[in-house]
A and B are shown apart, each in its own frame.
Chain A
């Protein structure tokens, strides 16, 4: 993967990397992609994909309301709040 592709991928993943990190990661990424390329040896034309080992069918459940009452415990985990609102930087 060239540096340009790596930058696009990082942007898609919402990662901001400095030049030093790009340099370090570029080698590691290439090494893994090289390793993945071993998969090209296998003829996969007759093989359907396995998405899950055991679950074959889609599962649904009734769309029931299950109340969760301890909402304070969720808000306590927010980094910054103001009267039960979560604070974020200005949007405009």
Chain B
């Protein structure tokens, strides 16, 4: 029976709604997953019928939900209330699911810890001294401690998959363009996708079928070829799994779990073949060049004039804009805007942005080559498990270098699924499967069989009677 069963109808019954709110009130103060929590408001926007009737879900605060605030974790959007709803959210509401709140995140999605949020920090449900990951840390934490069965996030370079791995849940980054981005605040437009954090493979796959599909309101959205989604799972069977090898620089616990995961997959009858991704060492530099360039353009819209944070006093409109941006953006965002502006400056474009886009072509070609030999690819998500908050954790530069495994899927546009692979030292470890474009079903297929042997772990803070 689907693990969703106990959640269905939960919020439609006033008595159960109260029980649910009480549960959230006992857990949430320890975790800090939400920036705003109001299931009653969410109920007014959802269909009273449908397969997901009364099912609570959370939305990363980078996706628009009418009537809820939309801050992106930034001071510059303080107090902004969204006048409309993102397509992905709307589709779930039409199926009966209810937005219970907006989740914490790194400012504008820029970070791997959720600690760059202007508003609060989110703690890992497995160890409150550690980060939940990022940038969709609030969404992943809310799922891991049983506040919701699933949550929406966004993934520009690993922002759904890395927190999912840190929290012991599933994180899907779909094929670029398959889920509408209407209502997703733009970070790096050629890389951004809406993703899903969920407690089981079944829920991940089910929610994906709800939110995918072409949308006239998103010019980059695509309808995959019919064949790709016809008879899901019935036509194509994964036989060969390519395992990324080489000097990967993994922490000891992650390394151990990586080997065990390969053994489990072999025992399930898969052919395990080592593959070398020849462009691996260029992923992160290429990714950050492109992401920062696009971010600097996308974030030019925040001026403090029509909405958002406005400084106390400004002499003239130009000063107003400069002050709004300087007081409204945090350090990490400023760094990325500066670098992005620099690499797009006349005279530097060829050296940086253009070059990165050309290497991106080589990265795509490299994946084409590998997918000729294997059906899916297994790789680490992050070289470490959840790190500690503050100075004992990873510094901002180390965090960026550590994005080398996740950024590949965004650069190539291919789907990737982060799945829990047991515990090491009491903390979850996750790995990712990558597949050719539109082949999300292959990811679910393998993850489902893996979960039959290694079921997803349950965080100690998760005492939810529904999950």
- B190 contacts A51, C-beta separation under 8 Å: yes
From A25, A35, A54, A77, B307 is in contact (CB under 8 Å) with: A77
Shortest Cβ distance from B279 into A: residue? A42
Question: Which listed segment binds A: B196-204, B227-235, B263-271, B283-291?
Answer: B283-291
Q: Interface residues of A: mostly helix, strand, loop or mixed? A: loop
Chain A residues with Cβ under 8 A from B357's Cβ?
Answer: 49-51
Question: Which listed segment binds A: B15-23, B158-166, B215-223?
Answer: B215-223
A61 to B83 Cα, complex, angstroms: 24
Shortest Cβ distance from B332 into A: residue? A28
- B358 contacts A49, C-beta separation under 8 Å: yes
From B190, B288, B326, B362, A35 is in contact (CB under 8 Å) with: B288
A48 to B411 Cα, complex, angstroms: 15
- A13 contacts B337, C-beta separation under 8 Å: yes
Q: Which bucket holds chain B's interface residue count?
A: 35 or more
A91 to B315 Cα, complex, angstroms: 9
Q: Interface residues of B: mostly helix, strand, loop or mixed? A: helix
- B177 contacts A35, C-beta separation under 8 Å: no
Residues of chain A at interface, number, CB under 8 A: 50
Min CB gap B353→A, angstroms? 9
Shortest Cβ distance from B305 into A: residue? A88
- A13 contacts B316, C-beta separation under 8 Å: no
Chain A residues with Cβ under 8 A from B407's Cβ?
Answer: none
Chain A residues with Cβ under 8 A from B323's Cβ?
Answer: 16
- B304 contacts A54, C-beta separation under 8 Å: no
> What are 19 A-B interface contacts by the 8 Å CB criterion?
A6-B338, A9-B342, A15-B329, A16-B326, A29-B335, A31-B397, A35-B397, A39-B355, A42-B358, A47-B362, A52-B220, A53-B411, A53-B413, A61-B219, A73-B83, A77-B79, A77-B307, A79-B304, A90-B316
Binding site for B on A (CB under 8 A): 1, 5-6, 9-10, 12-17, 21, 24-25, 28-29, 31-33, 35-36, 38-40, 42, 44, 47-55, 59, 61, 70, 73-74, 76-80, 86, 88-91
* Extra A-B contacts (17), CB below 8 Å, given A39-B285, A77-B80: A17-B334, A25-B331, A25-B338, A28-B396, A36-B352, A47-B361, A49-B360, A50-B361, A52-B220, A53-B411, A53-B413, A53-B414, A53-B437, A61-B219, A73-B81, A77-B306, A91-B317
